[in-house]
Amino acid sequence: MIRPPFPDFSFETAALARGARVVAGVDEVGRGPLAGPVTAAAVRLFPGSIPLGLNDSKKLSAARREALFHALMEQAQVSIAHATVAEIDELNILRASHLAMQRALAGLPEPCDHALIDGNLLPRGLSCAAQAIVKGDGRSLSIAAASIIAKVTRDAIMVDLAQQHPGYGWEANAGYPTKAHLAALLNLGVTPWHRRSFKPVHNILYQDKSLTP
């Protein structure tokens, strides 16, 4: 089946037609970074007031994401949640991501009847019906909206953390393992915001200099 080039409202429409009243898209940002929380968002769109231009956050410019973020905060029901660095290290990144998604869904103003989850796995223990959609941020408008909310929120967190811990480039790399970030780990050491269960950080803690960029 040929997929449309842009996300649409078909998954939401189908769920509403089956009797769901509150349908929300859920996405997370921050599985890959070495530092910072993982952030999830749940977004309920209203058919009469969907901001134009919603798409996978990775396909949008920073300025466009910011504009859509503010439009969504005004026109949609939005919930944002996180899993901490400690939870990531304790649970593993997949389970922590799912925990953040669960929290985001639970934080919506009205209980969700049907959740559209980006990815191929559903978080355990959801209190509503749910559907996993591979590459959902490019297929569902609600998931695209959630991806924008999560990314703008997490990027802002990492900019703030970069001011507290200068030298790692978090304001630009958002905690991802860029060459400059790995070099800073070796030169400046590990911060409380680094994920100790992630191999590059773990190896720095144990003084494995073979990872020098």
Stretch (H or E) spanning 170: helix 170-173
Tokens 């939870």 correspond to 87
Residue 8 assigned to a binding site: no
Residue 113 assigned to a binding site: no
Residue 208 assigned to a binding site: no
Mark residue 157 as left, alpha or beta (left: phi above 0; alpha: psi -120 to 50; beta: remaining): alpha
Q: 88: burial class by Cβ within 10 Å (0-12, 13-18, 19+)?
A: buried
- Give CA separation, 135 vs 3, 26, 164, in Å: 11, 12, 34
The binding site for a divalent metal cation comprises 27-28, 118
The binding site comprises 27-28, 118
